[in-house]
Chains A and B, each alone.
Chain A
Amino acid sequence: MDREGVIRGIAGPVITAESKVSTRLYEVVKVGNERLLGEVIRIRGPFVDVQVYEDTNGLRVGEPVFFSGELLSVELGPGILGSVLDGIGRPLDRMGDEGDIFLRKGFEAPTVPRDRKWKFIPLMERGQKYFPGDIYGVMLDVGGLEHYLMIPPLERPGTIAWIAEEGEYGAGDSLFSSTDGLTLQCLQKWNVRVPRPFKGRLPFNEPLITGQRIIDTLFPVALGGASVVPGGFGTGKTVTQQSLAKWCNADIIIYIGCGERGNEMTEVLEEFPHLKDPRTGNPLMNRMILIANTSNMPVAAREASIYLGMTLAEYFRDMGKNVAIMADSTSRWAEALREISGRLEEMPGEEGYPAYLSSRLSQYYERAGRVKVLGSRERVGSITVINAVSPPGGDFSEPVTQASLRLSGAFWALDKSLAQQRHFPSINWNLSYTLYERSLSDYFKRELGEDWNMLTLWLRELLESEKRLQELVQIVGRDALEDLDRWKLHLAWLIKSFYLQQNAFDDKDAFCPPKKQKMLLEFFREIDDRVTKKIRDGALFSQIHRISLPLWLERMKGLEVEKMETKKREYIAELEEELSSLEVIQS
């Protein structure tokens, strides 16, 4: 190989090489005798700075550096769903022997497995005209999942000269050729730092249904939107994200464990294959790709991992699927950026983060959206971003949280004091917000009826007045409150305990479909109407307090949607009876 250089300096994950040949920015480099993978991040005359994706301990000055001439890219094709990749796309589950428990350096393996074959069914025929993005065939992936094979986005339109017959093919087999010499396999490559093109953006009109009551009811995120989940440690970021990964209605989930715990990845790997997708009945793992760069894995690969994830997401979006991409956590990615920037001795911006933090972050967030994808037939796909942020000390004013806020439309603020009360998900309803409410209101009207918006408004107002009343109680004590206000406080407590809280570890409670959410809210509302009326008629709060509302609510929560209506009527009748039996002292 003549495109070679020599290592001149090493500082942690950044090495400086001297080379006589010309190099490109972000070109992939193999570093040292161990051929560690790296990427050019700065060029200064004959010297190039390379960030190395593997541990550089033991690397020596004078060892060779090989320039590949290519930019960092990822293989796209069948067989990647259900796999676990590291930050630069190497499959961790196909790495090393059975007994090799540690990650070796310099290991190479293709993202798309070479030893497997998939059933191919052609969807176009010889002589037909094609355009970039067109689906020319389909391959059957794990669990019979249809994996569309598309004309790569940057190819020119042309005419099909030959297309393979139905049958079993591997990653290297040709499936397609055109009259002007284009041949295609099921395997494509794409540069991870470049967004895949699409025809145009579409407005948001549908929510990502998460099955989490507080999110779907109060702070929904649109398909194609972006939401941020910031929270200090112990506030349940990971549990919240894992619940979303399990239950949300996206077709494909890309889960990036970015600088987090190794055991959390293991947990997902052990749990997800046994969980069934509530919609398709397939194991949840079949719709998932895990990207694992745990906190002790090389820091430079962490920087690359979110672009890798986004490229995979775009590939599936281009098939016309709804993809949800979750990164846990953006802060670790930003810290990786800061570490590399520090090694390059760049001028630091806020809190030591490089000045380009927010522009890099927007390059990631702006690849989300609901779009009309390429191809002559109309297809719509979407990428929804759900990013966790770990602000130091739980302080939301820090740069990563702030930069993320600007780029996203929903904000689910996790609250330490709620978490300490074991109120999960610990999303604070006073701090959180969503900007998608208006664009989604038509959808909710259609699916849940005209009165849904009324119900959520009622809930918001109740929570808002609870906040006010709590402040008042702090000053004057509770006894000074009117009975109606004391009921409101109690009702808010009931709602917090039995509606906003949700147990991710309880099979019956982990996923709550929107219809059920509405049913529960209606139940609350009907209780409130009746009790409020009774108090207005002179009943005391202490009398109401004795009614076993918590028990009813707990039971309602455990029911299936179909059985709820009858049960609700039963309880309401019981409530009316109890209320009418109360002795009211008329003043």
Chain B
Amino acid sequence: MSLYKEGSRAIKGVTGPLLFVSNIKCGGYGEIVSIETDTSTLMGQILQVEGDLCVIQVFEDTMGLNPESTTVWLERDVMKISLSPALKGRILNGRGEPIDGKGPIIYEELKLPIQGLPLNPVKRSSPNAYIETGISSIDLMNTLVRGQKLPIFSGAGLPANELATQIVKQARVPGSKGQFLPIFAAVGITAREAQYFINFFNDTGTIHNGIFFINLASDSAVERILTPRLALTAAEYFAFFLGYDVLVVITDMLYYCEALREISAVRDEVPGRRGYPGYMYSDLASIFERAGCVRSGRGSVTQIPIITMPGDDMTHPVVDLSGYITEGQIVLDRGLNDRNIYPPINVLPSLSRLMNKGIGRGKTVEEHRSLADQLYASYARAKEVERLRLIVGEDGLTEEEKFFLRFGEMFEEKFLNQGDEYRDIKESMEIAWDCLSILPKEALYKLSEDIIVKKLSGRERKTS
């Protein structure tokens, strides 16, 4: 560490979170600076360098900053986070400073840049271990796999947070001895939501073996750029250095993207769709891609980001781009929620791309795939018949179609609607078979003859 610090007082301008500083020799791209004002010391990062002029984004509020009496000190290093097992059980703010009153984290094993390095695709191993979440519509139809990145697409007022906490509480890899560590990154959520999470984790005891990064809606927007990266650097450390199975929940990525847009707008960049910057895809990828398993190690990083769809619009750029990067999505549905069905997961647009790797013989049951396919096909048909009913009326439907209607109702009431109950895969499947037993055998064309006989004979046809 050098004994002196280089600094500059030549501040040419301030707009929102940006500071324009000249007279900086050899400014480094992405390096951290500290900004000493009359009253406090702020933290910033160099965004662009042109000769001796630097554009600096400030992570805290720049209100009241006086260019005349401010000094910018160069730290000569990129943003890093101190890592050690002592992080476990701590609550930190969006910049990685403890806020739980337990004092500073003294022990440091190593420091890693929060930007992270991309995983070498050759050194990855395919995620293939089934995670049981205890939620039927996920386990049976959109299976979560260890090392996957599976976002929850939610809408304003839909219970995404409840679902996320339920997954954190219940998720387990059957038969695995690996240590499990939840990491929670709150990005721009309200104090009320934060309180819900803290209470929940306190009640379940998760607070002692998880790590929590909290950036509230009232905190600086620029800080939101850091929070997910801090959480993921910690996740990579615990996973790939210490061998934990880490589950990272990030809520809410929409606010992250809004912060990105805010900075981009101040920098006068050419806006892309809906004002979001053109590089948002690469930026989001640098977060979402930090999940996976590696060949050489035991650990894994699984990600469940929550993304609010503004106006329930799945083509909104943030949702759309995320969908291109993540390995599937769990979509919450307002219609189901209005009918008090919890969790209100609409299985038709939901998808888990890695599902096939985590299910089947030796993992769950052999007929898992075909059962899920059958449920999809039948439920899609049921929804189609429902629409048809609006046109032709109940009387215009054939007998077969009426069976589908009843199947649809039972599927939503019994299979989807499970409340807080934990169902293991066997229980979920039982309910699925019950639902399918409504349908005539000829409609079960995705299932093999043997399975139909084995599972459905003797089962009372629930035609009521």
Name A's B-contacting residues (CB within 8 A).
8-12, 16, 55-63, 84, 92-93, 95-96, 98-105, 232-234, 257, 259, 261-263, 265-267, 269-270, 292, 294-297, 299, 332, 335-336, 338-339, 342, 348, 351-352, 390, 392-395, 420-422, 474, 477-479, 497, 505, 548, 550-551, 554
* Distance in Å: Cβ of B44 to nearest Cβ of chain A: 15
Let me know if B296 and A99 touch, CB within 8 A. yes
A58 to B27, CA, bound (A): 9
| Complex: chain B residue closest to A96, CB-CB | B120
* Distance in Å: Cβ of A517 to nearest Cβ of chain B: 21
Interface residues of B in 176-228 (CB under 8 A from A): none
* Distance in Å: Cβ of A275 to nearest Cβ of chain B: 15
Let me know if B26 and A62 touch, CB within 8 A. yes
28 A-B Cβ contacts within 8 A?
Answer: A9-B48, A9-B49, A9-B50, A10-B29, A11-B49, A12-B48, A56-B29, A57-B78, A93-B122, A103-B120, A232-B323, A233-B324, A259-B285, A263-B126, A263-B354, A266-B125, A294-B118, A294-B289, A295-B289, A296-B285, A299-B279, A342-B270, A342-B278, A351-B273, A352-B278, A420-B349, A421-B377, A548-B442
Let me know if B286 and A477 touch, CB within 8 A. no
Let me know if B270 and A234 touch, CB within 8 A. no
A92 to B209, CA, bound (A): 36
Interface residues of B in 319-336 (CB under 8 A from A): 320-321, 323-325, 327-329
Let me know if B282 and A339 touch, CB within 8 A. yes
Let me know if B286 and A58 touch, CB within 8 A. no
A10 to B127, CA, bound (A): 37
Let me know if A57 and B29 touch, CB within 8 A. yes
Let me know if B123 and A101 touch, CB within 8 A. yes
Find B270's partner among A84, A105, A348 (CB 8 Å cutoff): A348
| Complex: chain A residue closest to B401, CB-CB | A478
Let me know if A269 and B122 touch, CB within 8 A. yes
Let me know if A10 and B328 touch, CB within 8 A. no
Would A55 and B115 be within 8 Å (CB), given that A234-B328, A296-B286 are in contact?
A: yes
CB-CB < 8 A to B121: which residues of A?
Answer: 84, 92, 257, 262, 265-266, 269, 292, 294
Let me know if B124 and A263 touch, CB within 8 A. yes
| Complex: chain B residue closest to A11, CB-CB | B48
* Distance in Å: Cβ of B228 to nearest Cβ of chain A: 13
Among B27, B296, B324, B349, max chain A CB count under 10 A is at B324
* Distance in Å: Cβ of B156 to nearest Cβ of chain A: 20
A98 to B294, CA, bound (A): 11
Let me know if B124 and A8 touch, CB within 8 A. no
Let me know if B126 and A266 touch, CB within 8 A. yes
Let me know if B351 and A98 touch, CB within 8 A. no
Let me know if A395 and B315 touch, CB within 8 A. yes
CB-CB < 8 A to B52: which residues of A?
Answer: 61
* Distance in Å: Cβ of A556 to nearest Cβ of chain B: 14
Interface residues of B in 300-347 (CB under 8 A from A): 315, 317, 320-321, 323-325, 327-329
Q: Is B281 an interface residue (CB 8 A)?
A: yes
Find B281's partner among A11, A95, A101, A259 (CB 8 Å cutoff): A259
A233 to B321, CA, bound (A): 9
Find B380's partner among A104, A261, A421 (CB 8 Å cutoff): A421
Would A263 and B292 be within 8 Å (CB), given that A351-B273, A497-B445, A548-B442 are in contact?
A: yes
Let me know if B325 and A261 touch, CB within 8 A. yes
Let me know if A263 and B30 touch, CB within 8 A. no
A198 to B264, CA, bound (A): 47
CB-CB < 8 A to A233: which residues of B?
Answer: 320, 323-324
CB-CB < 8 A to A294: which residues of B?
Answer: 118, 121, 285, 289
Find B391's partner among A55, A348, A474 (CB 8 Å cutoff): A474
| Complex: chain A residue closest to B147, CB-CB | A263
Find A61's partner among B51, B122, B279 (CB 8 Å cutoff): B51
CB-CB < 8 A to B297: which residues of A?
Answer: 101
Q: Is B373 an interface residue (CB 8 A)?
A: yes
A64 to B16, CA, bound (A): 34
CB-CB < 8 A to A394: which residues of B?
Answer: 315
* Distance in Å: Cβ of A543 to nearest Cβ of chain B: 14
CB-CB < 8 A to B329: which residues of A?
Answer: 234
Let me know if B281 and A262 touch, CB within 8 A. no
CB-CB < 8 A to A295: which residues of B?
Answer: 281-282, 285, 288-289, 325
CB-CB < 8 A to B28: which residues of A?
Answer: 58-61
CB-CB < 8 A to A342: which residues of B?
Answer: 269-270, 278-279
CB-CB < 8 A to B20: which residues of A?
Answer: none
A270 to B127, CA, bound (A): 11
Q: Is B419 an interface residue (CB 8 A)?
A: no
Let me know if B78 and A299 touch, CB within 8 A. no
| Complex: chain A residue closest to B55, CB-CB | A11
Let me know if A478 and B392 touch, CB within 8 A. yes
A84 to B320, CA, bound (A): 29
Q: Is B414 an interface residue (CB 8 A)?
A: no
Q: Is B170 an interface residue (CB 8 A)?
A: no
A11 to B113, CA, bound (A): 19
Let me know if A296 and B118 touch, CB within 8 A. yes
A44 to B323, CA, bound (A): 40
* Distance in Å: Cβ of B80 to nearest Cβ of chain A: 11
Q: Is B403 an interface residue (CB 8 A)?
A: no
CB-CB < 8 A to A103: which residues of B?
Answer: 117-120
* Distance in Å: Cβ of B399 to nearest Cβ of chain A: 10
Contact bitstring B44-67, A, C-beta under 8 A = 1, else 0 = 000011111000000000000000
Q: Is B376 an interface residue (CB 8 A)?
A: yes
Let me know if A393 and B50 touch, CB within 8 A. no
A410 to B4, CA, bound (A): 65
A335 to B321, CA, bound (A): 12
Find A262's partner among B25, B118, B272, B321 (CB 8 Å cutoff): B118
A394 to B282, CA, bound (A): 19
* Distance in Å: Cβ of B364 to nearest Cβ of chain A: 16
A518 to B306, CA, bound (A): 48
CB-CB < 8 A to B272: which residues of A?
Answer: 338, 351-352
Q: Is B13 an interface residue (CB 8 A)?
A: no
CB-CB < 8 A to B445: which residues of A?
Answer: 497, 550-551, 554
Q: Is B271 an interface residue (CB 8 A)?
A: yes
Find B123's partner among A100, A352, A478, A554 (CB 8 Å cutoff): A100
* Distance in Å: Cβ of B161 to nearest Cβ of chain A: 24
Let me know if B78 and A101 touch, CB within 8 A. no
